[in-house]
Structure 1
Amino acid sequence: MTEVTAVVEDTHLIETTVSSAVMAQGKMLTVRYDEARLPNGRVSSREYVTHPGAVAIVALTQSGEVVLERQFRYPLKQVFIELPAGKIDAGEPVLTTGQRELLEETGYTAKTWVKLGIQHPCIGYSNEVIHMYLATELSLGAHARDVDEAMDVMVWPFARVMQAIEDGEITDSKTMSAMLMAERYLRKHPVAGLAL
C-alpha cells in the first residue's frame, strides 16, 4: 500500500505584520504591539512578549531518579517544583545552555545528552521556545548559582514525578512536557536502574 501525504496549505490562516512597536523593554523580555493584516484583509492588534528561548533538562541519576528544583517564582508569588532550566544567552548553542544551567543550578554534569524536542509554552502571547533534553550518566560537583538564585535541589523517583504531575503537585508546563517526552523516549530506549 502506498502512503499518501497530504499537502497542508496554510495561506488562509497567515497573518502579516503591518507595523510593529516596542511597548516595554526589559533585561530579558520585550513587549511588542503589532498591527497585523488578517487573512480576511482586516487589520487587528497583536500584543506579545519576545523571549530569548530556554532549555529544560530531565537529568537522571544512576538509580533513575530525576533531579528537581524547588524555587519561588515571583509572577505567581509561589514556590514551584520544576526541572533545571534556564534561558539561552545571546549566541550560545542550545546544548551549551543546557549543560551550563544544569551545572550552575544543581552541581550536576552529564556525559550523555539526548534532545527530546521543543515546546512553545505560551503561543498566545509569546514567541518563547523551550528546548528539552534528557541528561544521563551524571556526576555531582558544586553548583555555581547566580547571586539572585535561591533554590532547593532534590531527586525524586521517576514514577513519583509523574504522579506529582497527575496529582497537580507539579504544574510547571516545561516540567510536565519534558517529563512526558522523556517517558516516551525511555520506553523505547530503556536506561538501567529505571523501571517505567
Structure 2
Amino acid sequence: MMKNLEEKTIATTQIFSGRIVSLQVDKVELPDGKTSTREIVKHPGAVAIIAITPENKIVLVEQYRKPMERTLVEIPAGKLEKGEDPLITAVRELEEETGYECEKMEYLTGFYTSPGFADELIHVYLATGLNKKENAASLDEDEFVEILEVTREEMEQLMKEQKIYDAKTVYALQYLQLEAAAQSK
C-alpha cells in the first residue's frame, strides 16, 4: 500500500522574481513529521511544436543558448504568456520562430522538464499542413534563430553529433521514430 508522500508547505520565501522565472525557498513538513527546505524555480510553462512540412521534413531552429554557452538545434518552442491557452501559444510560436502557419495543430502530451526543482510544464503539439506565411509575425527582439528543415534521419544524425541535446527535441525524435515504426507494421 502506498504511503502518503505529500510534503506540506509551512512557509515560502520569495528569493527572486524575473521576467521568465522566479525562485522561492519553501519550508516543508515531510511525511515523517520532520522539516526540510525545497528550492523551487517557478515557470509559467511552455509549448514545443513538432512541425512537419508537406515534404515530410521536420522544421527545427538553431539558436544560441547562453546557459550552455553554445548553439543547439531544437524544435520550435516558447513560453506561455500569463493565462494564455497553450494552443494559442503553439500557433503563435510556430509562426514567430519559423514563419509557418499550419492547417492542424494536434496536442500530443505534456511533461515536466525538471520536477526535482522546477514546475515548468511543456505542452507538445504536432503541426501539419504547413504553409509559409507571407507576413509572418517576427521573433522577439532578443531572439535570433536559423531555420532548418531536415529528414528524420538527418535529425537522428544531429542528435548523434550532440547538436540536438535538449529533452523536448529528443522527445520529438522518439515520437517520430515510434510513429514510423507503427506505420511500417
TM norm structure 1? 0.86
The residue that corresponds to 1:137 in the other structure is 129
Partner of 1:98, secondary structure, is helix
Aligned residues: percent identity? 35
Residues 187 and 116 (structure 1 numbering): CA distance in 2 closer, same or farther, change over 3 Å?
Answer: farther
Q: Give 1:93 shift.
A: 0.7
| Alignment of structure 1 residues 56-71 onto 2, 5 Å | 56-71=48-63
CA spacing shift, 1:51–1:10, aligned 2, 3 Å: farther
Residue number in structure 2 paired with 1:94: 86
- Paired residue for 1:9? 2
Gap change, CA 1:119 and 1:182, over 3 Å in 2: farther
Q: Which residue of 1 aligns with 2:35?
A: 43
Which of 10, 13, 16 aligns to 1:24? It is 16
User: Unaligned stretches of 5+ in structure 1?
Assistant: 1-7
Which runs of 5 or more residues in structure 2 are unaligned? none
Partner-residue secondary structure (3-state), 1:99: helix
Which residues of 2 match residues 91-170 of structure 1 at below 5 A? 91-141=83-133, 142-170=136-164
Q: 1:161 to 1:29 in 2, by over 3 A?
A: same
Q: Which runs of 4+ in 1 moved over 4 A?
A: 185-188
Cα–Cα, structure 1 residues 34 and 101, in superposed 2: closer, same or farther, change >3 Å?
Answer: same
**Aligned residue pairs, count:** 183
3-state secondary structure, aligned to 1:178: helix
What is aligned with 1:177? 171
Query: 3-state DSSP class of the match of 2:90?
Result: helix
Distance 1:83 1:44 in 2: 38
Contact 1:54–1:131 (CA under 8 A) maintained in structure 2:
yes
Write the distance in 1 (CA, Å) between the matches of 2:157 and 2:48: 19
Q: Distance in 1 between matches of 2:73 and 2:3?
A: 38
- The AA in structure 2 aligned to 1:110 is C
Q: CA deviation at 1:33?
A: 0.3
CA RMSD of aligned residues (A): 1.9
Inter-partner Cα distance in structure 2 for 1:10 and 1:127? 23
Relative to structure 1, is the Cα distance of residues 186 and 116 closer, same or farther in structure 2, using a 3 angstrom cutoff? farther
Q: Deviations over 1:3-32 (max 9, x none)?
A: xxxxx7351x22111111110110121100
Between the aligned partners of 1:120 and 1:172, the Cα distance in structure 2 is: 13
SS in 1 for 2:115: coil
- The 3 A distance-change label for structure 1 pair 28 and 10 is farther
